[in-house]
Structure 1
Amino acid sequence: MRNPTGTTCGPERQLLQYMLDHMRTELIDTVRGLSESEARRRLVPSMTTPIGLVKHAAFAERNWFQRVLAGLPDSECDGAMVGEDSFVVSDDETVADVIAEFERAGDRARAIAADIDLDATRQHPVFGTVSLRWIYLLMIQEFGRHAGHGDILREQTHATRRT
């Protein structure tokens, strides 16, 4: 991994924040440069599309940082809070819109987490007691996995351009 900032050593929080931001960027990069139709193309049996992965990631940011960490009610979160539909992108949303939604969710996540100790805990209805540290690790894992999915979909998209 190229690391121009030299963030390979340092305080744990700095490393977690750097890696989460890096994974956010990697996920966004999987849709940059795709046409609107390419970003929506279903190349696997599931509802997974490149743009849908970024839409889902925005939901995950809101769920974990706004709902769980900040304790906000769904009405005060920045977007839809229905997990089952988190991969669904409406016809009037563009790639740029969905990227902007994800970036706003990331900005708000950073602001929410800024003054919270890594060991601070919250309750989650499925996972039980979770710490901010665990949320960071979960999001890094989630966005890394989805960036990998996006890379494969992008590769498949580029292959269909050549045929």
Structure 2
Amino acid sequence: MNVPNRITDRPERQMLEYMLDHTRAELIDTVRGLSETESRRRLVVSRTTSIGLVKHAAFAERKWFQHILGGLPESECDGAMVGEASFEVSDDETVADVIAEFERASDRARAIAADVGLDATRHHPACGTVSLRWIYLLIIQEFARHAGHSDILREQTAATRRT
């Protein structure tokens, strides 16, 4: 992991924001360079695809930052707000489109969180009271896990190219 000089002793918020941005970039990197066909290839029993993982990450940004933290009704969020369908990518969406959607959602998440303290709390219908700190940690964990999934799919794709 390439960590910028002295990020490890910065204030907590800077470290959390750095790690979140790092996991966002790692997830995007797992689909960059894949063809449209490769990004949609299903190599596991579930319907998980590399492009679908990035699409789902955009949904997670909207759900947690726009809806929960920002208090926007789901109808006013910048895209699909349906959980399981959040992995689905339409035939007319490209890898570049999905990356751009994720980057827009991430930019909006940063803007919403910018003026909120780490200890500020919001209500989530299933989780109860959550703080911005908890949201950061949850999203870092989720994006890191999905980047790992997508890394494995990318390795499997590379192996099928060689055979």
| TM-score bin (small chain) | over 0.9
- Name the SS for the 1:91 alignment partner: coil
Give the structure-2-normalised TM-score: 0.98
Deviations 1:103-122 (A, max 9, x none): 00000000000000000000
The 2-side partners of 1:2 and 1:117 are apart by: 27
- Name the SS for the 1:106 alignment partner: helix
> Could you say which residue in structure 1 is the equivalent of 2:127?
127
> Could you say which residue in structure 1 is the equivalent of 2:161?
161
CA drift of 1:74 comes to 1.4
Instruction: Assess, with a 3 A threshold, how the Cα gap between structure 1 residues 132 and 43 changes in structure 2: closer, same or farther.
Output: same
CA drift of 1:7 comes to 1.6
The 1-side partners of 2:7 and 2:35 are apart by: 33
Q: Which runs of 5+ in 2 are unaligned?
A: none
* Partner AA of 1:49 in structure 2: T
> Could you say which residue in structure 2 is the equivalent of 1:78?
78
Aligned residues, how many?
163
- Structure 1 segments of 4+ aligned residues over 4 angstroms from their partners: none
Q: CA RMSD in A?
A: 0.7
> Could you say which residue in structure 2 is the equivalent of 1:112?
112
Give the structure-1-normalised TM-score: 0.98
Residues 1:149 and 2:119 aligned together:
no
Q: Which runs of 5+ in 1 are unaligned?
A: none
The 2-side partners of 1:53 and 1:129 are apart by: 27
Deviations 1:91-147 (A, max 9, x none): 000000000000000000000000000000000010000000000000000000000
- Name the SS for the 1:28 alignment partner: helix
* Partner AA of 1:39 in structure 2: S
CA drift of 1:156 comes to 0.2
Instruction: Assess, with a 3 A threshold, how the Cα gap between structure 1 residues 77 and 5 changes in structure 2: closer, same or farther.
Output: farther
Deviations 1:60-100 (A, max 9, x none): 00000000000101121110001120100000000000000
CA drift of 1:9 comes to 1.6
> Could you say which residue in structure 1 is the equivalent of 2:47?
47
Residues 1:60 and 2:60 aligned together:
yes
> Could you say which residue in structure 1 is the equivalent of 2:103?
103
The 1-side partners of 2:24 and 2:96 are apart by: 15
- Name the SS for the 1:118 alignment partner: coil
The 1-side partners of 2:139 and 2:66 are apart by: 13
* Partner AA of 2:95 in structure 1: V
Q: Percent of aligned pairs with the same residue?
A: 80
CA drift of 1:5 comes to 4.9
The 2-side partners of 1:88 and 1:161 are apart by: 24
> Could you say which residue in structure 1 is the equivalent of 2:88?
88
- Name the SS for the 2:78 alignment partner: coil
* Partner AA of 1:10 in structure 2: R
